Each structure stands twice: as structure tokens, then as C-alpha cells.
Amino acid sequence: MSAHRLILAALFFFAGLLAACGGGGGSPAAPTETPQLEGEVELVGSMPHEGRAWTEGLLVSEGILWESTGLIGQSQVRGLDRQTGAVLWSAPNTEGVFGEGLVRAFGRTYLLTYTEGKAYLFERDGARPYTLFATYEGEGWGLTATDQHLVNSNGSATLYYRDPETFSIVREVPIQYVGQPVQRLNELEFDGTYIWANQWRTPYIYRILERDPSKVVRYTLPAEVCPGGSPNGIAWDEDEGIFFLTGQTCEKIWKARLR
């Protein structure tokens, strides 16, 4: 072996040794990204929740808060001042049903019912404010809408995507958090990127990435938000970049930032 070849052989030997040892001197391995599991809640203000209503749905539209309330004989859709919480108008449900989730989308206002299996369209100034839109199987809990679909919960750990014209189910999306199904998904809110869902009778709100629902972050609301209640009123205010949070019999509507 010539000296030249000997040097080459030695170089290959050491190169092989380095590779076997896992490199050393190579580019460092990319750090493993730790997924965010817990979110942060910052309360930035509050106002009275008039009548401590049995909140089932909450949203911001046309510059005011829209709230649907439940219980037979007490169900209504009402408008609240976004700054004071004062009731601006209310429309008692005339159909004798238990109102649930509410959403304004696709040029309509949709209302679910708890066990009646009926979805209504609400028109505040209509000759008949509540008209039957569709019937469905199972219970109705929360309701929101993405750009293309209505999305509802029914007390299970699954979100149901529905055709806004026919109300038929087009997709079922099971939701898990750290490997466990998130049961009792309730009030829903879509902010353009995430679906926000509270878990009934817990202080938890879950943030679900709409395009990849395996990515879920949990927010634990401070006790003062709805003592002994359930924060099943979630409304995203795009203008102010805050959420309105309240719930069944909660004395206040809170403004919060969720990070």
C-alpha cells in the first residue's frame, strides 16, 4: 500500500468510526417540539349577566352579543349590549322547546334544541320568529359554523359537521385530549382557525385546531368566571380580539384573552 493509499484508508476508517459514534461535529439534531397542552387565561373585564340566564349559546354579531337560553318555558334568543351586558331585546321561544346552541352563518340564524331533535331558523323581525328548519337524531348542545359547514355537539366527544342547507351530517370528528375522549363537548365557537368548546360542568375550555383536530389545548378558567357553573357561553369578538365568557346562572359576563 502506498503512503497515499494508506492515508486514504486511514481517513475512511476514522470517518466510519465517527459515523458509528453518531456523528460529533455534524449538525445538531433538531429539538423535538413539545406540543402546547395547557393554555393561559387572562381576564380583562366583566359586566353583569342580566337575569343570570340559562346560557346555551353566545356569539357576537352586528356589534352586539346574541345569547340563546334554555329550559322549557324560559328559552329565548336575546341581544345584549357588548359593553354593559344590558338586555337590548329578547324573543321568547314560542315553540315550547328547550333552546340550545345558536349560530349566525350562511345568511341565517340557526338554533338547536336539547331533546326535541328540531333545528329552527330564528328571525327576530319575522312574522313567526322561530320556524322549523330540520330534524335530527339525538340531542342538540352547542352550535357553530366554519366557512363551509355547521358544526354541532351533542354531549358526546364528537363534533358533527353538517350541510348548512340540509342539516345532514357530512363528517364526524372525535376529539381527544392527551389520549382521552373529551366527553360532554358543549358550547362551540369558531374564530377562523380554532374551534373552542367548553366541557359541560367543568371549568375547561378546549381549543381545537380546525384543520388538524388532533391538536388540542386545554384552558382552565379561574373559579370566579362562573362559580359552581359551567362556562357554556363563548363568544369571539374579532374587533377587540377577546372572548366573552359566561354560563348558566353566571352573574357576570367576562372578557378574556386566551393564549
DSSP assignment, residue 34? P
CA dihedral (244, 248, 250, 253) in degrees, to 10, reads: 10
Contact 117, 132 (CB under 8 A): no
Scan for cell 381527544, then name that residue: 176
Read off the C-alpha cell for 92.
Answer: 321568547
Under rule CB under 5 A, residue 59 binds Ca ion: yes
Nearer to Ca ion, 59 or 91 (CB): 59
Give 68's Cβ-side CA count (13 Å radius). 32
Strand 185-190 to 194-199 pairing: antiparallel
Scan for cell 374579532, then name that residue: 238
Specify the amino acid at residue 14.
F
Which stretch, 66-74, 203-211, 231-239, 244-252, contacts Ca ion (CB under 5 A)?
Answer: 231-239
In whole angstroms, how close is the CB of 222 to Ca ion at the nearest point?
20
In whole angstroms, how close is the CB of 254 to Ca ion at the nearest point?
14
* Site size for Ca ion (CB under 5 A): 4
Under rule CB under 5 A, residue 189 binds Ca ion: yes
Environment class of 127 (CB within 10 Å of its CB; exposed 0-12, middle 13-18, buried 19+):
exposed
Map the footprint of Ca ion across residues 60-119, applying CB under 5 A. none
Which stretch, 113-121, 148-156, 170-178, 228-236, contacts Ca ion (CB under 5 A)?
Answer: 228-236
Contact 97, 118 (CB under 8 A): yes
Nearer to Ca ion, 203 or 247 (CB): 247
Nearer to Ca ion, 116 or 189 (CB): 189
Nearer to Ca ion, 30 or 173 (CB): 173
In whole angstroms, how close is the CB of 41 to Ca ion at the nearest point?
17
Residues 231, 234: Cα–Cα separation, whole Å = 7
In whole angstroms, how close is the CB of 75 to Ca ion at the nearest point?
16
Which stretch, 75-83, 185-193, 240-248, 250-258, contacts Ca ion (CB under 5 A)?
Answer: 185-193
Under rule CB under 5 A, residue 245 binds Ca ion: no
Nearer to Ca ion, 11 or 70 (CB): 70
Nearer to Ca ion, 73 or 122 (CB): 122
In whole angstroms, how close is the CB of 191 to Ca ion at the nearest point?
10
Residue 27: strand, helix, or coil = coil
Give Cβ neighbours of residue 181 (< 8 Å, ≥ 6 apart): 157, 174, 175
Which stretch, 7-15, 52-60, 105-113, 133-141, contacts Ca ion (CB under 5 A)?
Answer: 52-60
Residues 163, 158: Cα–Cα separation, whole Å = 16
Which stretch, 45-53, 67-75, 111-119, 186-194, contacts Ca ion (CB under 5 A)?
Answer: 186-194
Nearer to Ca ion, 47 or 197 (CB): 197
User: Which of 232, 230, 257 shows the shortest CA–CA distance to 243?
Assistant: 257
Which residues of the shown chain bind Ca ion in the complex (CB under 5 A)?
58-59, 189, 234
